[in-house]
Structure 1
Amino acid sequence: MLIKYLLEEIKLLGFTGTAFRIYYEFSLTSGLKKLKDNKIAIPKPDISFSKWKKNRKKIFLPDKKTAFNVLNTLLSEEEKKQIIKIANNALEGKILCFSKWQGNYGCPINWHYNPKKKVFWPKNVHWSKIMRYEKKCGDIKLTWEVNRFPHLYFIVRAYILTNYSKYVKAFKEQLLSWEKENPYPYGVNWYNGQELAIRMLAWIYALYMMADDPVFDQETFDRFLRLLYLHTIHIENNISYAYYAVHNNHLIGEALGLYISGLLFPYFLESKRWREKGKKILQSERCLRQFYEDGGYCQLSFNYQRLALHYYLWALRLAEVNQDIWERKENIMKIFDKSAKFLYSFMNSSNGQLPNWGANDGALLSPWISCDYADYRPIISFLSYITRKKRVFEKGPWDEELFWFFGKEAIESEIKPYKLSSRNFPITGLHVQRIKPDTFLLFRCGSVKDRFGQADQLHVDLWWKGINIAIDGGSYLYNDELQYHRYFVGTKSHNTVIVDNQDQMYLHRRFKWLYWTKAKLLSAFPLEGEHYGYRRLKGEVVHRRSINLLNENAFIIKDKLIVTEKIKHKYDLHWLLGDFHYYVDKLNNKVFLITLHTPKGNFYVKLECNINAEIIVNRARTDFFVPDGWQSRYYGEKIPALSVHVICCSKNGCEFTTLFTDKI
């Protein structure tokens, strides 16, 4: 069986991808990477801090005085206090992680610490060997988070609001500490090129906004340039992995790192090469083809699409203010326009949230907004303005990102919302049935085209009066507590039918699905589709689902499991519901009624099977092998949800009917 899976993996990778992967793994294990890194010598560019301040390359950021005036107008007193509070906590090593929970990394910060597992990654091991310690040290992303410097976006804004130089001093000290504790090329923080690029952007933001403070000095500027050089040369030396092996936002982020470093800091012999190489990759089909023609993205995740778009937004704005001509700018602008309409189609108008669809690793490239992490109004506003010079929403904290990129005139521009309506996105395989701005349904139905994403065919996400009733589980952790990773990425956390406790695809490695599911949309209105992921089972099971609107507050969903021969299978209709107080009423052996007590009143879920069935409701079950009843909106945090199962066994397939309604 292992040979069978290996051959399938090679088929999906292709000859070039497979050959490169073999070479890359050899270069890691043989020590070739280490030999190359040891030959790097850091040049000392001929540029003083004072000269740089007078002749610095243009960036899109506003001056400090304008930023002070706009932030005081745009943000409420409570929002400003929160920014300062988060910044002050960061001075003590208490970092807002993944825009949600606080991780204590110590004071001074320990850059190798995992605050959840309370363990340290070794800092004297070459980066190419560091993953040998993953089992002991836990999810690497929990250590990388502080090294992305998300707290700098709060420290800088606190500095602007208060004019206290203690924030500049804190940045100086953290930069000094980081260089001392992360000698190149050792430790966990040199392992991933995308992480280096994200860190560089935070440092550049702080440099440009703090450079005129008397506390900022030549020594700190020299340190910044040293680290910038090491980060960029390391990305350049290893970007081939992202180019040939992964085909996702890692490549876009690393290319941005090359471009921004070469463009803004032309003081190294390599600067021109970096700029041109980054620019070439960002305009290549390898990157642009990641975005689908219907507005979706190859990683099948709203969150990863936002991250990829943020990378391009940084790149294009820098190119614009420096008059650097991009031959394929119009192609990228079309991607922006399609992406804006795509994301907006799935937005809950009352809070800007989208369904928690696809992998969600907590990435928010520049957290310089006071909105919730799950609020997509900032990115939609930005995409709208860069493509048509119009805003989408009335003035609010979501305009802050627009201000950072475009200045004061952008947040005073004309408002013209996109149209909210039912839409089909057949390439991505997502469909939305929109009843009201805050009542709608997402339907996942479309053949898998890339190796990313989750085993979620025919999943339904239901929002009623702004409340997410039937939810998508999320991700939680990628690299620790792997039973939860398998749960969240697999079929068991999604609102669909599970056959024989199996996923719709085969999870070969932690992030690699084999035997990609084929699916077909049979009708766009009313919605109906089927998937063939379970055809590999005896009897060639096909799952067909139809969705009908009864009225503006009631949906009826019918599931039909079809077999070609009489083979007994276990069928599990699963609904992951929000964590509401609930009551279950068994009407008979085939019909069950769940009453949910929501903040907007009672909501009902009536479930029926055409043969005798049992109902099980799990909330926050912690079974080591099969967790159940969990959701994760923010990376590293899981909270309870209601996992409802209607289970039957049959040789002839079966049928389920689910009614979602506010009245019985």
Structure 2
Amino acid sequence: MSKNYTWLYNRLRSMSLPEMIFRMRQFVQKKTERSSMGWQPLVRLARLPEPILPFDPNQTPAVTFATEQPIFRHTIDINQSIDWHLDVSTGLRFPKTYAKDADVRSGRNGSAKYVWEINRLLFLPQLAVQYRQTGDRKFLTQFVAISRSWFAENPYLTGVNWYSNIEVNIRLINWFISWNILDASALAETDPDFKSFVELQWLPVIYQHCVYSHKNPSLYSSANNHLISEYAGLFIAASFWEFPESATWRAYGKSGLEREMLRQHSRNGVNREEAAEYIQFITDFFLIPYVVGERTGNPFSLAYDGHLIKVLRYIAQFLDCQGTFPRYGDEDDGRVLLLDDCHPHNNFKSLLRSGAILSRDPLFKQLSAEWGKSPRFDLKNYVLFGQAGQAIFESIPTQYDLLGSTFYEDEGHFILRKQEIDDNLGQLREIYIHADAAPLGFLSIAAHGHADALSFLMHVDGQVFLADPGTYSYQTDPEWRNYFVSTRAHNTVCIDGQNQAHQAGALLWLDHYETQTLSARTTSEFDQLSAVHNGYKHLNCRHQRTFLFDRTSDVLTLTDVVENYGKQSRLVEVMFHLGPDIQLDVTSQNTFILTHPDTTREVVLAVSPELQTEVVTGQIEPARLGWYSDGFYQLQPTTTIRAFMTIEPGQLITLTHQAMIYSISSPAIQVSNQLTHQFASLSNHLKLPIS
């Protein structure tokens, strides 16, 4: 109980006075809407809408989707009866009580995320595709049976599946896609049973979802990706189904999307939530309405179109040569659509194919495929753009240009990169470093940010050497949640084991740190970045980090300046978290050799000699350390190099670490001895700033 009061107090701290008034109105609405449980609207449309998406089953490659659907670390078989309120990971079930009373935080009914993932109905468009491609009525029968089951088990405002508006709108989008693939209006003309299903069951539930979406906006400190989803789902639905309120809903959704496109992205198209994996999820919420607007003669503004291309261009720059993204911030494997025609599917690359169609930029087409391979056209893009889109994609010339470094200085994201062609192997080689000097997150609660100021990661030839360990969970498993968002779980400096901001709840940060980029420049020979943050001012400490990447010698040098201007000694820890497939050899107390089985290059990591070091793998006590989460609710041990020392009151220390990437054929000891020479000459040449 005391934890609940503490969370409520901290949540109120994050709110403005207007938001408090809004929350009071929501509270009153919650009480008054209880009487609407089970509401069954009478819905009649003048006509059933015809498809606006150009899906031709005869032009798409035959696709077979698995009946075993992935639900994080579990699966469900959609050929079997589905319990819509069951958390399949724990066997616990949410009660079918008033939706807004649902307990999604304590875990006593299981994980709402598991339940919601099933109830997004991402598999319904898959069934629709298989029916249209094969003509086999078993897929249509299954589509209708699953839908009827959902309608029966989830009356309006009953159960946890009516709790979150983002879930409501993802269902709306998947019903829209399914209707278009099925050509439901034509099917209803020839199939009386299907017509009855559409008119008496499906349309009323779609209408309920539209009403709920419009009445329950996520505003103020919650106005992040949830709000985008609400505008997107309602705009798409109201553009397709002509309900009495559709004109109002269309205008509401469109103006909201126009506003949030600019508000939730920087001028360079970088999303402000500071959660990299979320970018593919959020971008679909902007892309699909864009397509619908074009198809219905209600296009978005030129500013919206231009900003969408900027978002896609950031995606193009922040992927490594294997299409792996820098895993800063939260990730939960969220998808708006799950139309995959090959596995594993990379939705970032699918978005780049969309970008190629919209902009006709060869770079998007190039980066949507593996190096040297012919870019393919995926099913999701075919559903959205049809044969005309595929023709545009195939008409774009295929080129293979090497990418360099890209600095997003205003946003605090820096991509340090070297690409070259190995003529002997005919392969692309890449050193990829992402340095993070960005804010904690978006809005007052920064819900999906991690305390990772001045952290970095390193990929070599598309393999993860120095990693961001991931997310694992949100509301449930608080000990794991606290670890994965913590400063200690990132490749940066941690002082006294404390975070750089105050974690007041699973999705609530207070006392956000501020970052400042002191200098940033890139040349043909090197990249240099120096930044500082104030996240440890409550400890009377300060951390500044300089990155220096020499592309001529493939050396990354980190310089940490830590100042203790207080009256107490402090523990300084410098963390290096390794990817889970990295093998580690220790050549001396502070020199480590990192290897990966899928690349012919290795990394020698030399940690500052002033620090003591220890290697930790899969530790629980005395504190969690050495863990990696490859996806939501996925967990495995990994190796962490922990370097540490005590800094005395009034002391300022400078710590220098170096990582050199070299071919396996190079003598490791020789490489290790070269490291100190490299930094001395480069730092003197560049006159690194210490502020």
Q: TM-score, normalised by structure 1?
A: 0.87
Question: Structure 1 residues 490, 532: CA separation in 2 closer, same or farther (over 3 Å shift)?
Answer: same
Q: 2:60 and 2:553 mapped to 1: Cα distance?
A: 41
Matches within 5 A, 1:506-655: 506-525=502-521, 526-549=527-550, 551=552, 553-565=554-566, 567-580=568-581, 582-585=583-586, 587-588=588-589, 591-601=590-600, 603-618=602-617, 620-623=618-621, 626-651=623-648, 652-654=651-653, 655=655
For 1:374-413, what aligned pairs fall within 5 Å after superposition?
374=346, 376-388=348-360, 392-393=365-366, 395-397=374-376, 399-411=378-390, 412-413=394-395
- Which of 329, 333, 339 in structure 2 is aligned with 1:362? 333
Matches of 2:130 and 2:38 in 1, distance apart? 41
Matched AA of 1:14: S
1:622 & 1:556 partners in 2: Cα distance? 31
> 2:539 and 2:489 mapped to 1: Cα distance?
24
Q: CA deviation at 1:335?
A: 1.2
Asked if the contact 1:126/1:185 (under 8 Å) is kept, the reply is yes
Alignment-mate amino acid for residue 159 of structure 2: G
CA contact (8 A) 2:261 2:307 kept: no
In structure 2, what is the Cα distance between the partners aligned to 1:104 and 1:630?
30
Q: Which residue of 2 aligns with 1:32?
A: 32
Q: Retained in 2: the 8 A contact 1:477–1:635?
A: yes
Kept after mapping to 2: 8 A contact 1:148/1:198: yes
1:71 is aligned to 2:61: yes
> What is the SS of the residue equivalent to 1:260?
helix
Given that 1:592 and 1:615 are in contact with CA atoms closer than 8 Å, whether structure 2 keeps it comes out as no
Counterpart contact for 1:364–1:373, Cα < 8 Å: no
Letter of the 1:497 counterpart: V
Aligned to 1:77: none
- Residues 497 and 572 of structure 1 are in contact (CA less than 8 Å); yes or no, is this contact kept in structure 2? yes
Residue equivalent to 1:427: 410
Structure 2 partner of 1:102: 75
In structure 2, what is the equivalent of residue 154 of structure 1? 126
Deviation at 1:498, TM superposition (A): 1.1
Deviates more, 1:464-473 or 1:592-601: 592-601
**Which whole-Å CA distance do the structure 1 matches of 2:600 and 2:23 have between them?**
54
Q: Deviations over 1:127-149 (max 9, x none)?
A: 11012674212221110011101
Structure 1, 12-21 or 245-254: larger mean CA deviation: 12-21
Structure 2 distance, partners of 1:474, 1:251, is 24
Q: Distance in 2 between matches of 1:4 and 1:163?
A: 57
1:336 is aligned, of 308, 315, 321, to 308
Offset, 1:375: 5.0
Paired with 2:311 and 2:317, the residues of 1 have a C-alpha distance of 10
- C-alpha contact 1:303 1:360 (8 A) present in aligned 2: yes
Unaligned runs of 5+ in 2: 420-427, 522-526, 672-691
Q: 1:431 to 1:553 in 2, by over 3 A?
A: same
Residues 79-94 of structure 1: matches in 2 within 5 Å? 80=63, 83-84=64-65, 86=66, 89=67, 94=68
- Alpha-carbon separation, structure 2, partners of 1:293 and 1:208: 34
CA contact (8 A) 2:261 2:286 kept: no
Tell me if structure 2 keeps the 8 A contact 1:198–1:253: yes
Residues 509-557 of structure 1 show CA distances to partners (whole Å, capped at 9, x for unaligned) of 2212111111122222333333333432443232323333264643222
Q: Following TM superposition, by how much is the alpha carbon of 1:615 offset from its aligned partner in structure 2, in angstroms? A: 1.5
Q: What is the aligned counterpart of 2:216 among 223, 230, 238? A: 238
Alignment of 1:139-288 (within 5 A): 139-210=111-182, 211=184, 217-222=194-199, 223-239=201-217, 242-266=218-242, 268-283=243-258, 285-288=259-262
Match of 2:337, SS state, is coil
Check the 8 A contact 1:340/1:384 in 2, yes or no.
Answer: no
Shift of 1:345: 0.9
Report the counterpart of residue 501 of structure 1 in structure 2.
497
Q: Runs of 5+ in structure 1 lacking a partner?
A: 73-79
1:24 deviates by 2.6
1:351-396 per-residue CA deviation (whole Å, 9 max, x = no partner) reads 3221222211111111213353545211122123223476523644
1:446–1:521 CA contact under 8 A, matched in 2 = no
- State the distance in 2 between where 1:657 and 1:183 align: 59
Question: CA 1:421–1:399 in 2, change beyond 3 Å: closer, same or farther?
Answer: farther
Q: Show CA shifts across 1:544-588 (max 9, x none).
A: 233332646432222221222563111111111112353442624
The 2-side partners of 1:309 and 1:207 are apart by 22
Provide the aligned length of Structure 1 versus Structure 2.
623
Deviates further, 185-194 or 354-363 = 354-363
Following superposition, the deviation at residue 491 of structure 1 comes to 1.2
Q: SS where residue 477 of structure 1 aligns? A: coil
Which moved further from structure 2: 382-391 or 163-172?
Answer: 382-391
Q: Percent identity?
A: 19
Give the secondary structure class of the aligned counterpart of 1:137. Answer: coil
Q: Provide the C-alpha distance between the structure 2 equivalents of 1:145 and 1:492, rounded to a whole number of angstroms.
A: 30
> Equivalent residue of 1:575, what SS?
strand
1:282 aligned partner, one-letter code? L
Give TM-score, length-normalised by structure 2.
Answer: 0.83
Task: Report the 3-state secondary structure (helix = DSSP H, G, I; strand = E; otherwise coil) of the residue aligned with 2:497.
Answer: coil
In the superposition, relative to structure 1, how do residues 539 and 251 fare at CA in structure 2: closer, same or farther (>3 Å)?
Answer: closer
Aligned partners of 2:492 and 2:147: how far apart in 1? Answer: 48
Change (3 A) 1:488 1:344: same
Letter in 1 for 2:646: C
